[in-house]
Amino acid sequence: MSSSQRASIYDRITADILAAIERGAGTWRMPWHHDGSPAARPINVATGVAYRGLNILALWAAAEEAGYAHGLWGTYRCWAKLGAQVRKGERATLAVFWKRTEGGDSDDGDDSDKTKRPRMFARGFSLFNVAQVDNYSAPEIPHLAESERIAHAEAFIAALKVQIVVDGDMAYYQPSTDTVHLPPFERFKDAVSHAAVSVHEHAHASGAKHRLDRDLTGRFGSFSYSMEEAVAELTASFILADLGLAHEPRPDHAAYIASWMEVLKSDPRAIFTAASKAQQAADWMHEQQQIEDLATTERETPSATAQHAAAG
């Protein structure tokens, strides 16, 4: 493979990932934000081995664009061996594997230096998702039963009075519409994960201008974005502790750790600020419970006039 062909592989995959990032820019969603659903872990259909590194990003970007609900992928030949057929006109997703050259080998035809050290170079190959083939039944996706919902956590979240939109595979807060978006309950691995994700996104909603008025304009990688994520995560930790629920790390947390560390190193006071704002958000959430309790009491208790009329 020539250097120009290798450059084309890098360019094409980078372009696909950038396109996915641009599609999610309005809602702060990057191609690596996910809910832990089957689509979140790209796997080779024949071997069951998970794809790694850059290929995960490339396949996430393709799945996000096309709306694939499962993370099974394979080459054309791989699907054919399983008795499946890639449908005519389906667009392949480019992935890469890394090949090691031995000393003296050169992929670009230059063998003049026989003493050079081994090196790695990228080779491209085409993958198709299970949604692009016929004559293959994907393994059934496990569904979390509605009966597993945690009643007191659901009631706590409902009292916050933020509109929840149930759709897709992504969880996020959209400031422009003041809505929390969540995947269907059945897509979560357990009820605690559902509650944790919902509280995290509601923590972002607490920062809306008509609530606590935090800066929600930061882009991924910026200081303000990292601070807001830290605030939301700490808020979720506080609230889940109050609700008596475990707070386990989500699969997408790794994407934030590096930026959080950068923030803390650049400003020793950042964690103090984040904790303070998180406490304000948690306090706001608890205040909404009191408001809801008062409203419920007023609905259930007849007014003095009504009581007098009933007595008369």
pLDDT at position 83 is 93
Phi-psi region of 244 (alpha: psi -120 to 50; beta: other; left: phi over 0): left
Tokens read off for 302: 């007849």
pLDDT band at 103 (very low <50, low <70, confident <90, very high): low
pLDDT at position 285 is 97
Whole-model pTM over 0.75:
no
For the segment 179-222, what is each residue's pLDDT rounded down to a tens digit? 999 989 988 888 999 999 999 999 999 999 999 999 998 876 67
The mean pLDDT value of the chain amounts to 79
A 10 A CB-CB count for 10 gives 13
pLDDT band at 109 (very low <50, low <70, confident <90, very high): very low
* Arithmetic mean of pLDDT, 257-275: 74
What three-state secondary structure class fits 219? coil
Phi-psi region of 36 (alpha: psi -120 to 50; beta: other; left: phi over 0): left
pLDDT band at 257 (very low <50, low <70, confident <90, very high): low
* C-beta separation of 44 from 51 below 8 A: yes
Q: Tell me the C-alpha distance between 74 and 86, whole Å.
A: 10
Of 230, 291, 294, give the one whose Cα is nearest residue 259.
230
For the segment 15-67, what is each residue's pLDDT rounded down to a tens digit? 766 666 666 544 544 445 554 555 557 888 888 887 877 788 788 888 877 88
